[in-house]
Structure 1
Amino acid sequence: MADNRASAYTEGVPCWADAQLPDLEAGKRFYGALFGWTFDGNGEGDGGEGNGKAGGNSGNGGKTYDRFVVARLEGEPVAALAPKTDGRMPTVWTVYFATPDVRALAARITAAGGQIVMPPTRADGFGTAALAADPEGAVFGLWQPGSHPGFGRRHEEGTFVWAQLYARDTEAANAFYGGLFHDALFGPDAEPDFGRASLLDVFPAEMPPHFLVHFRVADLGEALEAVGRLGGRVQVPPFRTSYGHVAVVVDNQGASFAVLQR
């Protein structure tokens, strides 16, 4: 199996991403046209992998794991879309970091000054998820795999390629995440797919700290034209980074993400 068809992820490696959207069908049309994704089921709990019932605290944090659909590229899982259960919650992409023990990691997060936004929540046999926030309030997910380890394809066109944390205090962010995910970030076999940068490098001062999920595209200009044609917009025009040529966009429902050309 090729490296980009990952079957397992070590702790601290981004392993999954999902979007919470007001209109699931509109999201499927947008991302299907933009990235060539196909989708399992219709979000009503009857569509194969990814539509299992979530146990435990499934409604906490405005997050649900009982009505999501898996996005696929050439048959492999690459992301998920889910309908929002609470209109007060943001329309947003969330990145999930792998862990073999979500409860132990949640305890380490709170001990390090973060907080748990949604306690560990089972999604049938697929795995166990939680949502956490770092000391500056940037929200991220945790994923303890069951039958679903995470991305089946990554680092290629139409799939996840990078997660960037935009923080107000990058030194504090490096200390927090370095303590949680030291081996994934700095170990000899590190493949973090995860960077930290100053919020003010890209966004206005009023923007809160956050994670930005990046998807790879073949041609950045063509991708931005497609975003506009599909009802989205460019939030931050193209800029150069150490990991590629990036633009921040908003989909047709308000969820921000980045497209990256390498």
Structure 2
Amino acid sequence: MSATHGKFIWCELMTPDMKAATKFYGDVVGWTTSSMNVEGMPPYTIFEASGAGVAGLMDFPAELEGKGIPPNWTGYVAVDDVDQSAKDFAANGGSIRRPPEDIPSVGRFAVVADPHGAVICIMTPFPMDNPPPEAPANAPGQVGWHELYAGNGEEAFAFYSKLFGWTKDHDFDMGEMGAYRIFAEHGTPVGGMMTKPPNVPMPAWAYYFNVAGVDSAIERVKAGGGQILNGPMEVPGGSWIVQAMDPQGAFFCLVAPAK
């Protein structure tokens, strides 16, 4: 495995209203935007922090309408060989939801799911002549944490550690809710996973975007027509989190170093 295999590299929102979502997340997270026009591909908006892209935004695909899939955020994980990794997902009990294909000038990607149905994207990026400098994971506007509500936390960790090389950093005892497994990518803690509580309808990944303060962010979420579902809550290490839903129905989370 290379030094980038298993690394989260992108986050993407599928929404029924790109214009409204662009304004909402710009106000809440502080992102600026640019457009990416690729021949043969639908319109795509880039969310930027400190002048570099961190996430993307696209129209909710017509082929997914009526299938019970809400607007949603999906993460992309870099892999050395996306075709092989897609096969590995299927061979180890997961599934291929969209076979590997190229995005011109960007990379080759696939949509896959783990054995319990949590969906994620994998990508082998094409080489870049001048890659932008990588911002610190805790910088404002970056994706600061990646969280899996798993069908079974232990089984999920075994699956992802095999396919992505993730390792256990430590477990946090959540009492009746069980263990919260902090996992690391090449030695750096980047996320957590746990067996989903009964009120979470299906196994799924969630993504936390960095903001400066959680209370002011909550007010921006409400002012923009979003809903606060959980929090604010202090988590081990002193950060504050909130879980929310945007006006179009996509679940997202915020994390801040201060309340």
So what's the TM-score if we normalise by structure 1?
Answer: 0.81
* Aligned match for 1:75, one of 16, 37, 51: 51
How much has 1:140 moved relative to structure 2? Answer: 0.6
Give the SS at the match of 2:116: coil
* Aligned match for 2:235, one of 225, 233, 241: 241
In 2, the alpha carbon distance for the partners of 1:11 and 1:117 equals: 20
Alpha carbons of structure 1 residues 102 and 123: separation in structure 2 relative to 1, 3 Å: same
What do residues 102-140 of structure 1 show as CA deviations (whole Å, max 9, x unaligned)? Answer: 011111111110001111121101111211111111001
2:96: which partner in 1?
A: 116
How much has 1:242 moved relative to structure 2? Answer: 3.6
1:218: which partner in 2?
A: 212
In 2, the alpha carbon distance for the partners of 1:150 and 1:167 equals: 33
CA contact (8 A) 2:95 2:112 kept: yes
Q: What one-letter code is carried by the residue in structure 1 that aligns with 2:143?
A: F
* Aligned match for 1:13, one of 4, 7, 10: 7
In 2, the alpha carbon distance for the partners of 1:229 and 1:18 equals: 23
In 1, the alpha carbon distance for the partners of 2:133 and 2:143 equals: 8
Alpha carbons of structure 1 residues 199 and 206: separation in structure 2 relative to 1, 3 Å: closer
CA contact (8 A) 1:72 1:78 kept: yes
Runs of 5+ in structure 1 lacking a partner?
1-7, 42-49, 55-64
2:188: which partner in 1?
A: 191
Q: Which segment drifts farther, 113-122 or 242-251?
A: 242-251
Q: What one-letter code is carried by the residue in structure 1 that aligns with 2:98?
A: M
In 1, the alpha carbon distance for the partners of 2:22 and 2:196 equals: 30
**Structure 1 stretches of at least 4 aligned residues deviating more than 4 Å after TM superposition:** 147-152, 183-188
Q: CA RMSD in A?
A: 2.4
CA contact (8 A) 1:102 1:143 kept: yes
How much has 1:32 moved relative to structure 2? Answer: 1.1
Structure 2 residue 146 is matched with structure 1 residue 163: yes
How much has 1:156 moved relative to structure 2? Answer: 1.1
What do residues 161-205 of structure 1 show as CA deviations (whole Å, max 9, x unaligned)? Answer: 1110011311111111111122566789422512211211xxx43
In 1, the alpha carbon distance for the partners of 2:60 and 2:31 equals: 20
Alpha carbons of structure 1 residues 192 and 117: separation in structure 2 relative to 1, 3 Å: farther
Structure 2 residue 19 is matched with structure 1 residue 36: no
Considering fraction of residues, name the structure with more strand.
Answer: 2
CA contact (8 A) 2:32 2:48 kept: yes
In 2, the alpha carbon distance for the partners of 1:96 and 1:188 equals: 14
Give the SS at the match of 2:120: strand
% same residue: 30
In 1, the alpha carbon distance for the partners of 2:78 and 2:60 equals: 23
Give the SS at the match of 1:193: strand
What do residues 10-31 of structure 1 show as CA deviations (whole Å, max 9, x unaligned)? Answer: 1111110000010111111111
CA contact (8 A) 1:18 1:81 kept: yes
| Structure with greater contact order relative to length (CA < 8 Å, sep ≥ 6) | 1
How much has 1:66 moved relative to structure 2? Answer: 3.1
Runs of 5+ in structure 2 lacking a partner?
170-183
Q: What one-letter code is carried by the residue in structure 1 that aligns with 2:116?
A: E
1:62: which partner in 2?
A: none
Q: Which segment drifts farther, 80-89 or 136-145?
A: 80-89
So what's the TM-score if we normalise by structure 2?
Answer: 0.82
